[in-house]
Amino acid sequence: MSNDLNQGTTPDLKVDESPISPIERRNSLEKHLQLRPDAQDLKNRHILLDTHAAPSLQAKQHELERQQQSDNLRKNLEKRPEREELVERNILPESTAAPALQANQRSLEKHMRADSLEQKIQQRPKPDQLVKEGILEADEDPLRE
């Protein structure tokens, strides 16, 4: 039954094997050559290399450029300062927390410092007590301007 369905629904597919005339072939080639992108467009799309070297040397030139880049990268990585030095210079945070948590950690530390400072200000001795202890003189009032 499945053979009946396949035979009834498949069209006759034939390949056109008729030869193309030389004129049609030439016109087709000319048409494709006219639509061909220019060299600068191919260079911009990184299809052609933007170089003045001979094609036989372009692969070696490309390999040499990559090797130079690799050497420069390796040299710069060797000169890179250690993590401890970057922490000392306040470039990197001293935290060992995950980077996603470091912003929250900094905010929490800031609020803790603010709370500690507020608590110390509230516990600060009054000018009268400082005069009694001999730290301030009687005519000295730090709140007066």
Q: Are 43 and 49 in contact (CB under 8 A)?
A: yes
Phi-psi region of 80 (alpha: psi -120 to 50; beta: other; left: phi over 0): beta
pLDDT tens column, 34-92: 888 998 898 899 888 777 888 788 889 889 999 999 999 999 999 999 999 999 999 98
Rounded CA separation 130/136 (Å): 6
pLDDT tens column, 84-138: 999 999 998 888 888 889 889 999 999 999 999 999 999 998 888 888 888 888 7
Per-domain residue ranges of the chain = 20-49, 98-144
Q: Do you know the residue count of the chain?
A: 145
